[in-house]
Structure 1
Amino acid sequence: MTTATAEHSLTNATRVAGPPKRPSWIRRRWSTVFTLALLAIVLIGYVIGPMIATARRSVSQDKAVILGFSFKAWGDFFANPTQSSAIGGSIVLSILSVIVAGVLGTAVAILLTRWEFPGRRVCQVLALLPIALPPLMGVWSFKLLFGVGGRIPYAMQEWFALDQKDFWLEGLAGVLVVHAMTMYPYFYLTVSAALANADASLEEAAESMGAGRFRVWTRVTLPLLTPALVAGSLITFMSAMSSYTAPLLFQYTDVMTQQIVIAKTNGDMRLASIISTTLAIISIVFLAIIRSYEQRKVYRTQSKGGGKRRSTVTSTPAKVVLFLIAVPTTIFLVLPILMIFVLSITAKGGWLQSVFPTGYTLEWWAQLFTGGFDFWRPVTNSLIMSVLAVGGAVLLGAGAAYVMSRMQFRGKLALDIAIMLPWALPGTVVAINLITAFASPSPFAAGQVLVGTFAILPLAYFVRFNPLIFRSTFASLSQLDPNLEDAARSLGASWWYAFRKVVLPLISRGIMAGALLAFVDGVGEFVASVLIYTPDWIPLSIAVNNANYQGNIGTGSVYGMIQVILVLIVLIITKRMESKSDTITPTM
C-alpha cells in the first residue's frame, strides 16, 4: 500500500469514526450508579425504614405505644414455651415445604420441558394454574377436598366402605399438601427457564465421553440448575414462613404468623413487632446461608446456544407411559380449581352430605351480565393495580438483578438480603409498616399522605413482589457467562445494543417467569390488602372475602374463577411469546 493510499484510508476512517465518544466504562458506571441509587431509595423509603420502625417498637417499654427502651419483652418472648414452639414449628414447616414443593416442581418441569408427547402443551398451561388460586378460596377448596369431612375422604367411605377419618388431612400434613400444590410453581417456572437456557453441548460432551444418563444428570444438568433451585427455595421458604391461611384452616397453630395476629388482636403491638422482627431475622439467616452455598461455585454456560431440544417420544408404549404420568398428575394438581368451579355452579344448600352436589344453578354466573359495574369493579381495580406494580417491579427488579450479577462492590450480600426482605415478611407486617410510614406526609411520597388513597395498594404490591422478579432474573443471569456480552462489546457494540441483542433474549424467560408470578400474586393478594384497601378501590381478593363472609359462596367462587381465567389468559400469552422467542437467536 502506498503512503498516499494509507493517508487516504486513515482520513476516511477518521471521518467515519466521528468525534470521540465517552468511554464505555463511564456510561456503564453511570447506569450502575443510577440503578443502585434508585434501588437504595426504594429500599430505604419503603422497606428498611418501615422495618426499622417495627424493630424500634419491639424494644418499647409500653406494649401499645413507643415509649423508652427495654429488652425485657424480648426475654419474656424467648422464655415463653408457646412462642418457642411457634418459632420451631415455622422453621420445620418452611424447610419441609421447600422439600416437597421442590421435588414436585422440579419433577414436573423436567417432565414437561424435556420430552415431547401428546398433550404436553396443555399440561404446561394447566400445571401453572394453581398459582391462580385465590388465597382464601384456594385454601378453603383444599379443606373441602382433603380436610376433615372433605369430599375425597367422604368418597372413600361411600364408594369403598373405608373409614373416612383415615384419609383426613389436618395439622402439619394438611398444610404441607397445600404448600406443595400451591408453591411448586416457584420451582417449576425457574427450573423450566433454566432447562430452556442450559447449554446442550455440555450434556452431549459428557455423553460422548462415556457418561451414562444418570451421571450426566447428577454431574452436569443438576449443577447447572442450582441458581434456579436456589431461587425457588428462597421464594418457597419465605412464602411458607409468612403463610397464615393454610395453618389457620388446617389447625396447625405452631406458626409465628398466627402469633402475630393474636398479639395484634390483644392490642400488644410490641409483641407483634418482636415476632415480626424474629421472623425477618430467620429468613435473613436462611437467605445468607443459601446464597453462601450458591456462591461456592460458578454455574454458567459459555455459549449462547439454547437449551437441549425436547426428545420426541416415538415409541407408542413410551408415549402411553408419559401420557399416563403427566395427565393424571396435572389433573390432580388442578383439583382445587375444579372444586372452585363446581362451587360456582352449585345451588345454595345443594352440597351437604353427598360426594357430588345435588343441586346446580347458573345464578351466580348470571351476575356477570346483571351485576353491572359494581360487580366488575374489583376485577378492573386488581388488574390496574397489578399491572402498575408489575411494570415498576420489572424495571427495578430486572435492573437490580443485572447490576448484582455483573458488578462487584462492597455490601453486595447485604443489598441482596435487603431486596428479598419484603418477601420474607408476612403481608400483614408489610401493610403495617407502610401504614406507619405513610400515615403522615413523607418525603418518599412527595410530601403526601398515601394511606387511604389509591396509591397505597400498588405500592404494597410493588414492594412485596419486586423480589420475585429480582430472584427469577438473577437466576437466569447466573447461568449466563459475562464473556458473551464482553465479546459483543469487543466487536464494537454499545452496551445498550449488546444488552438488548445478546443478554435480554437469553434472560427473557427468567423475567417473564418472575413477572408472571408477581402479576398472579398481585391479582390475588389478600393479607396486605385487607388492611390498606379503600372502599373506592376494592381489589378482587377482598371481593371474594366479602362474598364468603356474607355466605355467598357461589359469588365468591365466580370471582375466584374470574381470577383463574385472567391468569390462564396471561399464561397462554406468555407461552406464545416463549414459543416465538425459541425461534429467535440472539444476534449482533
Structure 2
Amino acid sequence: MAVSSGSRDNQLANARARSKRDFSSLIPSLLTWGLALLFLGPFLIRPVVTVLLSAITVADPVTGARALNFALLLLPLQNELARQSIINSFYLGILTTIVSSIIALPLAYASARLKFAGKGLLTGLLLIPLLLPPLVGAVGLKQMLAREGFINTLLGRNQNPIDFLGSRFLGGNGPLLMVVLVAALHLYPLVYLNLSAAWANVDSSLEEAAENLGASPAQVFRSVTLPLLLPGFLSGALIVFIFAFTDLGTPLVFGYDRVAAVQIFRTKDALSDPTGYVLAFYLVVLAGVVFWVSRRYLDGGKIATLARGTRRAREAQPSPLVSILVYLLFFVVIGLSLLPHIGVIMASFASDWTSRLWPAWTLDNYVHVFTDPTIPARDSIKLSLLCASASMIIDVLAGFALAYALVRGKIWARGLLDTLAMLPLALPGLILAFGLLISYRYTALDPFENPIPLLIISYAVRRLPYALRSVSAGLQQMSVTLEEASLNMGATPLQTVWNVTRPLVTANLIAAGLLTFAFAVLEVSDSLILAASSSQVPIAQAIYQLVTAAKMYPACALGVIGMLLLSATFLIVNRLLGKQMGSLFKA
C-alpha cells in the first residue's frame, strides 16, 4: 500500500514537472504573440477591420450606433462618380501592367539569354527607377509637358502648343496616359526582375529536347519556355497592377481625380460620406485576392523543370546588328525612366523654364526652400526626418525581436505570425492610412489635431517587413553554435543576444534602419492622408501643396532634396546587404 502511495506521489510529481516544463516552453510563444498583437492589433488589424465594417454599416444620427446595411456595397452601381472611379482605376492598373510588361519583356530576354559587354552595369541601371519616388517624377514630367514647357519648345510648338494635359489631347485622355507612363517607368523593374530570374532558371535541356524533336523556335517558346516563365511573369504583373490601381500621388499631380485612390483621399475631410469607405472596401478585397492568388498559385511556381539548377539558360552571342539594338533598347528605357527626374533637377535650378530648351539657372529655389516663410519646406523636412527616424527605431527594435523569435525560437504558429508581420507588404498604404484616420478620429491620436503619432506608427507598420527580412537574413547566415557556446559558458539568454548575436547582425540592423528610414522620408499615401493638420506636413505633402499652389520650381527643389536623401540611404543599404537586398521585398 505504501509502495502504491509512493508511486502515485511520484506520478503526481512527474506530472507537475511536465506541466511546469510545458508552461515554460509556452512562455516565449505567448510573449512573442502578445507583443506582436499589442503593436499590430490596434495599428494593422483594427484599421483594416474598421474600413471593412464602415463599408457595410451606417451610423444612427442620434445614438451613433452602427447597423448593418449591405446595400452600401451597391453604391458603385448607383453613384456615377464611384462607378467611373473604379473603372478608371482598372484602366490605370491594366494599362500600366501592359506597358510595364512590354518594356520588361525584351530587357529580361536580353539580360538572361544574350552576352554583351557592360551587361552588369546596364542591368543595374534598370533598377534605379524603382528606388526613385514617382511623385517627384510626376512633378518633373508635368513641368516638361506644360504648354510652355520643354517638350513643346523641343517640338517647335511655342506659337501653337500641344496641351498634353488638356481636354482636347487624345480625347481628354492625356492625364490618364501621363499617369500610366510615369507608373510604368517606375514599376517595370518589378516585372523585369521576376521575368529575368524565371528566364535564367529555365532548364535549357528541355528547350534542346524540343528542338531535337523538330520544333521550330516559335513552337519551343510557346510550348516549353512560356509555361515556365508564366508564374514569374504573373507574380510581377500582379504587383504592378495593384500598385498602379492604388497609386495616389501621381494621379493627384496630373489632376486625374476620377480614380478610386483620389476619391478616398477626397473623403478624408467628409467622413460621413460612405463613398470613401465603399471604395476602400473594394480595394481591400482586390488586394486580398491578389495576395491569395500570388500565395496559392504563384509562390514558388507550380511548374518545375526536370533538372533545375543543373543546366542553366543558354546565353547566345548576338550579331553586331542585334547588339546595337540591345544597347539602344537599354539606353532608351533607362533614359526615359530617368527623364522626369532629370527634369526635376533642372527645374530646381531654374528661375524661368518657359518657351526655352534650357532654364535660366539660379540657386534661389533652394534658398527659398529654407528661408521663405510661405513655403513649408523647412518644417516639412524636419517633420519627415523626425517621423522617419522614430519609425526607424521602432522597426529596428521590433524587427530584431520578431526575427530572433521566428528564426531562433520555437514559436507556436510561426508561419501565421510571419504572414501577419509581412501583411503590410500586400496591403496598399492608402488603405492602412485611411483605416488609421477613421479608427482614431476624435481620439488622443486624432491626426487632425496632431498627425505626428499616427505618421510614425503608419511608417513603422508599413516598413516592418523590410526590417524583419533584413535581420532574418543575417540570423540565418550566422552559425547557432556561437550562441550555444555562450550559453554553455554560463551566459544568460539576454547576455548572449546582446554580446554575441547583436554584434554579428549589426550590418543587417543598420541596413534595416536605413532602408525603413529611406522609404518613410518620401512616403506618399500615408503622408497625404494622415497629415490632416495644415501646419504639420511631411515632405510629400509639402511637395503636393507647392504643386497645387503653382510653385513648381520650389516643389522641384524640395523633390531633389528628397531624392538625395533616398539615394544616399539606398547606396549605403546596398553596400551593407549586397545581394541580400532582393530578399527584403518578398512577402
TM-score normalised by the shorter chain: which range applies? 0.5 to 0.7
Report which stretch shifted further, 527-536 or 44-53.
Answer: 527-536
Identity %, equivalent residues = 19
Structure 1 residue 537, shift from structure 2 partner: 6.5
Structure 2 counterpart of 1:430: 433
Q: Which amino acid aligns with 1:121?
A: L
Q: Secondary structure at the match of 2:66?
A: coil
Structure 1 residue 468, shift from structure 2 partner: 6.5
Contact 1:450 1:456 in 2 (8 A): no
> Following superposition of structure 1 onto structure 2, how do residues 43-58 of structure 1 map, counting pairs within 5 Å?
43-58=40-55
1-side partners of 2:89 and 2:253: how far apart? 16
> Following superposition of structure 1 onto structure 2, how do residues 156-555 of structure 1 map, counting pairs within 5 Å?
156=155, 158=157, 170-188=174-192, 194=197, 203=203, 223=228, 226=231, 230=235, 232-250=236-254, 252-266=256-270, 268-295=272-299, 297=301, 320-347=324-351, 350-352=352-354, 354-357=355-358, 359-366=360-367, 378-379=380-381, 381-390=383-392, 392-393=394-395, 416=419, 419-420=422-423, 424-425=427-428, 427=430, 430-431=433-434, 433-434=436-437, 436-437=439-440, 440=443, 452=450, 454-466=452-464, 519-533=517-531, 538-555=537-554
Superposition TM-score, scaled by structure 1 size: 0.67
Structure 1 residue 495, shift from structure 2 partner: 13
Relative to structure 1, the CA distance from residue 297 to residue 32 in structure 2 (aligned partners, 3 Å threshold; closer, same or farther) is: farther
Structure 1 residue 330, shift from structure 2 partner: 0.6
Structure 1 counterpart of 2:15: none
2-side partners of 1:307 and 1:254: how far apart? 50
Structure 1 residue 45, shift from structure 2 partner: 1.5
Structure 1 counterpart of 2:124: 124
2-side partners of 1:458 and 1:381: how far apart? 10
Structure 2 counterpart of 1:13: none
Relative to structure 1, the CA distance from residue 368 to residue 530 in structure 2 (aligned partners, 3 Å threshold; closer, same or farther) is: closer
Relative to structure 1, the CA distance from residue 85 to residue 546 in structure 2 (aligned partners, 3 Å threshold; closer, same or farther) is: closer
> Following superposition of structure 1 onto structure 2, how do residues 56-135 of structure 1 map, counting pairs within 5 Å?
56-58=53-55, 59-62=57-60, 66-71=64-69, 74=72, 77-82=75-80, 83-105=82-104, 108=107, 111=110, 117-118=117-118, 120-121=120-121, 124-125=124-125, 127-129=127-129, 131-133=131-133, 135=135
Contact 2:205 2:311 in 1 (8 A): no
Query: How far does the alpha carbon of each residue in 1:266-292 deviate from its partner, in whole angstroms, 9 at most, with x for none?
Result: 553433222222221222123223322
Q: Secondary structure at the match of 2:241?
A: helix
Gaps of 5+ in 2: 1-21, 488-505, 582-587
2-side partners of 1:48 and 1:116: how far apart? 49
Q: Which amino acid aligns with 1:359?
A: A
Relative to structure 1, the CA distance from residue 241 to residue 371 in structure 2 (aligned partners, 3 Å threshold; closer, same or farther) is: same
Relative to structure 1, the CA distance from residue 386 to residue 183 in structure 2 (aligned partners, 3 Å threshold; closer, same or farther) is: farther
Aligned length: 524
Contact 1:346 1:359 in 2 (8 A): yes
Aligned-pair Cα RMSD in Å: 5.8
Contact 1:131 1:520 in 2 (8 A): no
2-side partners of 1:254 and 1:368: how far apart? 32
> Following superposition of structure 1 onto structure 2, how do residues 565-580 of structure 1 map, counting pairs within 5 Å?
565-577=564-576
Gaps of 5+ in 1: 1-24, 443-447, 478-483, 498-507, 583-588
2-side partners of 1:328 and 1:297: how far apart? 32
Query: How far does the alpha carbon of each residue in 1:500-557 deviate from its partner, in whole angstroms, 9 at most, with x for none?
Result: xxxxxxxx99999998875544221233224444789643223323444554322221
Q: Secondary structure at the match of 2:67?
A: coil
